[in-house]
Amino acid sequence: MPSQLFATKSIAEIQEADAKGQQLHRTLSATALTLLGIGGIIGTGIFVLTGTAAANHAGPALALSFMVAGLGCAFAGLCYAEFAAMIPVSGSAYSYSYATLGEGIAWFIGWNLILEYLFAVATVSVGWSGYVLSLCDQFGIHLPYALSHAPFAQGAPDSFNVIRTGAILNVPAVVIVAALATICYIGIRQTSAFNSIIVTIKVAVVLMFVFLGVGYIQHANWHPFIPPNTGTFGLYGWSGVLAASGVIFFAYIGFDAISTTAQETKNPQRDMPIGILASLVVCTVLYVAVSIVLTGMVSYKKLNVSAPLAVALDAYPSLLWLGLPIKIGAIAGMTSVMLVMTLAQARIFLSMSQDGLLPKVFGRVHPKFRTPSTGTVVTGTCAAIVGGLFPVGLLGELVSIGTLSAFVTVCIGVLVLRYTRPDLPRPFKAPWPWFTCIAGAVICFGMMAFLPLSTWVRLAVWTVIGALVYVFYGYHHSRVRAQMAAQAVQSATS
């Protein structure tokens, strides 16, 4: 097994296997990719996690947390752009790791990408449900508590205690995941068109909040800008700022989801870097602006809710009219995030199945719609169940740590491949690789380090489960293993 764990697939092999597989429709342009990136990024990060991260970790200094996370993303984004242009396949960081660091690391990253995308859909569905409930309340429609909230909640920000809430199931979260999985199942063209409409709505709403809310900022809400640490690591102070950056890092994961659509991009060598970097820049600016205005309008202590922007608007009667557009924008924003994450997860399943590390059924492509049908159904079903049962805070931290581990690996992988294969054609090159790659890996790992211990333990449990799946299935069905066995037989008989 050791030799197989470190066996890599050449870029030519990855591209050849991708070409021989069942083809998806190439319909996406650079503009469509940028909109997919914005669709995947702007959502829960602005409309949900800004509140919980400010209230539980950073206070008004949340803007600094977004800057730290954005800096790490900038470096990781440059590395992703180089890989995506050089290896334009649907496997994202999983395929990049296979080409540079070997099957063992590739499996670990692929397994964490499942944690990232699948749990991201579930996480956002919880925030989506919160805004739908708020909108329904505004119109006098009150959904039963038992059917609109998760039955389980985390006992404390850094604890393993799970408490019962008295609810049965978060039905709105389940319904929206099922609906979006259906759209992804039907086709990439329909998905992209739907996403473009949603992105236009939510960006317009975010800009409305920033430009109108800035006139209601109360400077007293920013003092102290960095609340003193409570004596507990990660609860305010600079450790809180860094802890919050790890939590809200979840908000940036949309840009790496773009790389999973390489098979459906018209000119991936050119369009992938544009889509990744353009969406990242736009969203970072919007995140910082919203966090500054939000914490200025209302005390951060009041923001530990699933709809923080709605809380800020409720504090000012003259802005109550804006509550409806904001809620609609939030619902639209989170809808597109779930759409993009569902799209990405199904394509990760497709790539891992083509390599034999997951059952062949995960690689099934619908004969009419040309979409990864089984992967989409599995993603939708699992995300609906998880989103219906668990709270947003616990899920968000799990997604963040899974995402960060993938980003660290991509940054290292670019540097490794620059050293081992300097001859490879690179349509896009990350500038100053020894600085960019190392800085990206260090910042992303630093944000991982500041996540709660309970999140690390859950990552360890998830990794152990993944290792068992690999040992009992992936190892025995790996195409790399089959190739190594064939080569050994050929060498023995020659």
**For the segment 149-160, what is each residue's pLDDT rounded down to a tens digit?**
767 665 555 444
pLDDT at 279 over 50: yes
Output the pLDDT for position 119. Answer: 80
Above 60 in pLDDT, residue 338?
yes
Mean pLDDT of 82-102: 79
Mean pLDDT of the chain: 82
Structure confidence by residue, pLDDT tens digits, 439-471: 999 988 887 887 777 778 888 888 899 999 998
What pLDDT is stored for residue 160 in this prediction?
47
Close Cβ partners of 394 (under 8 Å, ≥ 6 residues apart)? 154
DSSP 246-272: HHHGGGGTHHHHGGGGGGGBSSHHHHH
What pLDDT was estimated at residue 154?
A: 58
| Range of the structural domain that residue 333 is part of | 2-493
220-224, 345-349, 401-405, 410-414: least confident range? 401-405
The CA radius of gyration of the chain, in Å to the nearest whole number, is: 22
State mean pLDDT over 395-414. Answer: 80
pLDDT at 207: 92
Nearest Cα to Cα of residue 389 among 145, 130, 164, 131 = 164
- Residues 425, 98: Cα–Cα separation, whole Å: 18
Residue among 382, 446, 430, 99 nearest 243 (CA): 446
Q: Tell whether the model's pLDDT for residue 204 goes beyond 70.
A: yes
62/226 Cα distance (integer angstroms): 9
Cis-peptide into 224, omega within 30 deg? yes
pLDDT exceeds cutoff 90 at 295: yes
- Token representation of residue 305: 């809710």
Amino acid 365: pLDDT? 82
Higher pLDDT, 2 or 476: 476
Count, residues in the chain: 494
Which among 18, 33, 36 is positioned nearest to 95, based on CA atoms? Answer: 18
The residues near 422 (Cβ < 8 Å, ≥ 6 apart) are none
Asked whether the predicted pLDDT for residue 289 surpasses 90, the reply is yes
Give the domain CATH number at 349.
Answer: 1.20.1740.10
Band (202; pLDDT cuts 50, 70, 90): confident
Q: What pLDDT shows up at residue 123?
A: 79
* pLDDT band (50, 70, 90) for residue 299: very high
- Taking alpha carbons only, the member of 167, 283, 235, 278 closest to residue 450 is 235
Q: Which residue has the tokens 């909230």?
A: 149
Q: By mean pLDDT, which of 88-97, 331-340, 385-394 is the weakest?
A: 385-394
Give CA angle at 388 (383, 391), nearest 5°.
100
pLDDT of 395 reads 62
Structure tokens at 18: 């991708």
Does residue 243 register a pLDDT over 60?
Answer: yes
DSSP state of 301: G
**Is 322 in contact with 209 (CB distance < 8 Å)?**
yes
Per residue in 65-82, pLDDT tens? 988 888 888 898 888 888
Task: Return the structure tokens found at 405.
Answer: 């581990």
What are the pLDDT digits (tens) for 35-59? 888 887 887 677 777 888 898 899 9
Distance CA(372)–CA(182), nearest Å, equals: 12
Which of the four pLDDT bands, split at 50, 70 and 90, describes residue 292?
Answer: very high
Task: Give the CA count within 13 Å in the CB-facing half-sphere of 223.
Answer: 3
Confidence of residue 11 (pLDDT cuts 50, 70, 90): low
Q: How many domains does the chain have?
A: 1
Percent of the chain's residues with pLDDT above 90: 13
Q: What is the pLDDT of residue 14?
A: 66
> For residues 142 and 135, what is the distance between their CA atoms, to the nearest angstrom?
10
pLDDT at 141 over 70: yes
| Residue 192 exposure: Cα atoms within 13 Å on the Cβ side | 19
Phi-psi region of 102 (alpha: psi -120 to 50; beta: other; left: phi over 0): left
- Rounded to 5 degrees, φ, ψ at 153 are -145, 155
Find, among 217, 221, 241, 222, the residue nearest to 293 by Cα: 217
**For 374-383, 388-397, 416-425, which range has the lowest pLDDT when averaged over its residues?**
388-397
- H or E element at residue 469: helix 453-469
For 289, the token pair is 């602006």
Please state the rounded mean pLDDT for residues 326-343.
83
Its pTM stands at 0.78
Identify the residue with better confidence: 150 or 231.
231
Residue 164 has a pLDDT of 67
**Is residue 94's pLDDT more than 80?**
yes
Q: DSSP letter at 54?
A: I
Q: Is the pLDDT of residue 322 over 80?
A: yes
Quote the CA–CA distance of 2 and 451 in Å, as a whole number: 31
For residues 175 and 162, what is the distance between their CA atoms, to the nearest angstrom? 24
Name the E strands within 334-478. none
**Contacts of range 225-231, beta carbons closer than 8 Å, 24 or more positions apart:** 225/59, 225/60, 225/61, 226/58, 226/59, 226/60, 226/61, 226/64, 227/59, 227/60, 227/61, 227/300
